[in-house]
Structure 1
Amino acid sequence: MVCGKCESKLAKIITPDTWKDGARSTTGGGGRKLNENKALSGKKARYTPYATNFHKCKVCKQSLHQAGAHYCQSCAYKLGICALCGKKILDTSNYKQSSV
């Protein structure tokens, strides 16, 4: 769960959704080149998940999948808070949620 303010902070995916109008993951005009090898043409360093220092969830101490987050998705859903900033989004007092 992410609040509307933190939604712009989410990372974009590599492959753009060019067939959808208003897709969030589009990288702009131009489109893609034909017969392009993405591994050779990339100017940025490759993504190395072991080199990045990910934080741990403040509640369950699980390693997080996104660099800016403070809570994992399951804890954020259970508590009804934003996973990035911790702001209360949803009142979960009347919900019957399992702990699994």
Structure 2
Amino acid sequence: MVCDNCQKKVGRVATQDVWKSGSRNTVESGGKKLNENKLLTNKNSRYSPYTTKFNKCKICKSTIHQPGSTYCQGCAYKLGLCAMCGVKILQTKNYRQSSV
């Protein structure tokens, strides 16, 4: 779960979205270039498991594989928080959630 402010910070995929009318990276919307070499153009933002320092979740101390996040997906969902900034998104008082 990510809030609306952190939505633009979320990583993007190099492939096109299947749903064309709402996708972010199609040719029609201007987000994808034709005949572009992704290896050369996005050298700085390219994912590398050896150079990327993974953060730990503040609650359960598990490894987070999304850069810039402070909470893992499980803890963010259970508490109703944004995984990146920690803002309360959802009121979970009346929900029946498992403790796993």
TM range (shorter): 0.7 to 0.9
- What does the per-residue CA deviation read over 1:41-94, in whole Å, with 9 as the maximum and x for residues that have no partner? 721276321320011100011110111000000000000010000000111011
Alignment of 1:1-100 (within 5 A): 1-17=1-17, 20-26=20-26, 28=30, 31-33=33-35, 42-43=39-40, 44=43, 47-100=47-100
User: 2:34 corresponds to which letter in structure 1?
Assistant: R
Number of residue pairs matched by the alignment = 95
TM-score of the superposition, structure 2-length normalised?
Answer: 0.79
Letter in 1 for 2:74: S
Kindly provide the amino acid, as one letter, of the partner of residue 5 in structure 1: N
Distance in 1 (CA, whole Å) between partners of 2:31 and 2:51 is 32
Unaligned runs of 5+ in 1: none
Listed as ranges, the gaps of 5+ residues in structure 2 are none
* CA RMSD after TM alignment: 2.5
- Sequence identity of aligned pairs in percent? 56
> 1:79 & 1:60 partners in 2: Cα distance?
12
TM-score (norm 1): 0.79
Structure 1 residues 29 and 74: CA distance shift in structure 2, 3 A: closer
